[in-house]
Structure 1
Amino acid sequence: MKGGLIVDDGFIYEEEKLLTVLKTSLFFANDGFTVYDCKGELVFRVESYGPDTRDQGEIVLMDAHGRCLLTVRRKRPSLHQRWEGYIGEGTDGNRPIFSVRRSSIIGRCSVTVEVYGKPGAEYQIEGSFANRSCTIFNAEKESMAEIRRKVDASTNVLLGKDVFSLCLKPGFDGAFAMGLVLILDQITGDDAVDGHPTTED
């Protein structure tokens, strides 16, 4: 259970891995995410992620070469905000491998992740994604990944919220972690659309 769910074993690292996540929605028509490692190499990307995608409630995570790794889809109807993750592209005929359900606490990211087919395999995401400050814990309350604001190394200046760090602990699948980031971003965006606060000032 230490490492947990595996979407793609090519994104499991033996040592702690720090990724930089860039949300491109403010700069390009095809908004989305690009994710880089510490050497500046592209690791993941998500394209055409905007109002049309929100209506569809479905987002695809790709690797640097455009290969579809994971599809996350909003489950409707749902009393609570609930999302499911599927291996590869699309959800038709596929069985979900995990689900994500938020609590009713507005403005805070209190989220439960259930892994299908693995009794007791569960994660909790605690903190505030809106503030880019939250941690993914496994069932043993061990930190598996952290989302943090990024500081410019040369100037020591805190960067905007559209650039943040995703720190992966050894053995934790980066593709799974990035799928959770996409869902957290959607949940936080829905708060803003619904008129709820997304920060904790």
Structure 2
Amino acid sequence: MASKQSMIPIVSKAFCSLSEVVLVVRRRPHVVNGGGFVVTDCKQRAIFSVDGCGILGKKEELILRDANGNPLLLIRRKGGIVEALSITRTWKGYKNDFLGSQKLVFTLKEPNTLCLSNKNSIRISIESKELSNYGNFEIRGDFSDKDCSIVNSRGDAIAQVGVQEELEQVMTSKDLYHVSIKPGIDQAFVFGVIAILDYIYDGSTRC
């Protein structure tokens, strides 16, 4: 179990559990391409949803919502000529602060496939000054196979993406998979990262 002191509320402490949580990601049905996905608990209750570009009408922009449809994170990819020449592509996750203005909470850098250094790993930086002591995070494994982890600066996995064996035997796609999240870790942050990975790897959020 996690103590209150060990919680990492990157988006909100409301999404930090005292025990390990396993949630299921399911491609949202009956929508156009780029519709996004829904996250449910073991009782099939919706916990989060992600709107992709098919719903928002904008490429390289995503919204993570809570169970009531309230926006938690606005996620955008930085563009332009400068980024095209860079060795990485940068995504940014914003939340609204108590005054209603956008506050940058994390950035994710993916290797630019146009560059020779595309073997670099995907790295996530926490931009909040209050949480800067938690360090950075990294993606290890292959999200396209739904077999990867988000690890902290010490190399400890804080979240694991996988497909249950019984589901893998009957499914040819990875449209249904589970995410195990360690105690104290902000689940909204984890699914903000997964939303970006889904887009990067031509998932349900991408048009």
Q: Does the 8 Å CA contact 1:70/1:85 hold for their aligned counterparts?
A: yes
TM-score, normalised by the number of residues in structure 1: 0.79
- Matched with 2:125 is 114
2:111 counterpart of 1:99: no
CA distance in 2, matches of 1:109, 1:162: 26
Read off the aligned partner of 1:110 and give its amino acid letter: S
Which residue among 20, 23, 37 is the counterpart of 1:33?
Answer: 37
C-alpha displacement of 1:8: 1.9
CA distance in 2, matches of 1:2, 1:104: 34
2:192 counterpart of 1:179: yes
Alignment of 1:71-110 (within 5 A): 71-77=74-80, 78=83, 79=86, 80-88=88-96, 94-104=102-112, 110=121
Read off the aligned partner of 1:13 and give its amino acid letter: S
CA distance in 1, matches of 2:148, 2:57: 23
TM-score, normalised by the number of residues in structure 2: 0.77
C-alpha displacement of 1:107: 9.1
- Matched with 2:27 is 23
2:174 counterpart of 1:149: no
2:144 counterpart of 1:126: no
- Matched with 1:196 is none
Gaps of 5+ in 2: none
Q: How many residue pairs end up in the alignment?
A: 185
User: How much is the aligned-residue C-alpha RMSD, in angstroms?
Assistant: 3.0
Gaps of 5+ in 1: 194-201
Say which SS state the counterpart of residue 42 (structure 2) adopts: coil
**Aligned in 2, Cα 1:40/1:83: closer, same or farther, shift over 3 Å?**
same
Relative contact order (alpha carbons < 8 A, sep ≥ 6): 1 or 2 greater?
2
CA distance in 2, matches of 1:52, 1:94: 21
